[in-house]
Homo-oligomer: A and B are copies of this chain.
Amino acid sequence: MCAAKTESAASESRRPARDRIFEAAKDLFYRYGIRAVGVESIAAEADATKMTLYRNFNSKDELVAECLRDHDREFWEWWANVLAPHADEPKAQLMALMEAFSRDCEECLRGCPMNNAVVELHEEGHPGRAVIVENKIQIRERLLALCREIGARDPEILADAFYLLIEGAYISQLTLKGEDGPAKTLPRIGETLIAAETGK
């Protein structure tokens, strides 16, 4: 038994079970969807047991929400890293975002974990929904702030254009993936929009 363990020498100290379970849950939920993944398979993937899962998380729904919070945290870390090289240059930051989103859409496995999750979480009161909605509101607001900074004629319109383009790029990754997908045109479209909505 235990033949499947790949890396454990006899008494090697492993990471806490909670972390292993959390990481496995995040991965499986993203890969296969939330309803498609049972708590038992999460525990198995983490080389732990269902009991340990329930000692660390109140319910599957709470575990889902926790995973989404971590996706949110990772996302804004990623966002900050994209903007960092172009401090105080809002136009360059917007373009860097478009290029980064375009690249991420080509590399990622299944689009945006937030959007994927919200499709499955139809229950209005699910603890994960608030995390997702807040994430989207923030994205829209930060895009709007950037569009104001570059002096766009109509910042709300331009920001919404960027917002829709990004969301469309992620969701289309699930159907039209690959080198010739529409997501790769993000930077070119961004360029055109900025030129059209500022004084060129």
Contact = CB atoms under 8 A, between A and B. Distances in A.
Given A189-B157, A193-B193, A36 B168 contact: no
A160 B180 CA distance: 11
A164 B189 contact: yes
Contact of A176 (B110, B136, B166, B195): B136
Main secondary structure on A side of the interface with B = helix
Nearest to A196: B196
Contacts of A163: 168, 172, 182
Interface in A87-135: 110, 114-116, 118-120, 122, 132-133
Nearest to A185: B160
A174 interface: yes
Contact of A133 (B132, B170, B175): B175
A169 interface: yes
Interface stretch (A7-15, A27-35, A39-47, A61-69): A27-35
Please provide the 6 A-B residue pairs with the shortest distance between their CB atoms, ordered closest to farther.
A164-B168, A168-B168, A167-B168, A160-B182, A35-B35, A196-B196
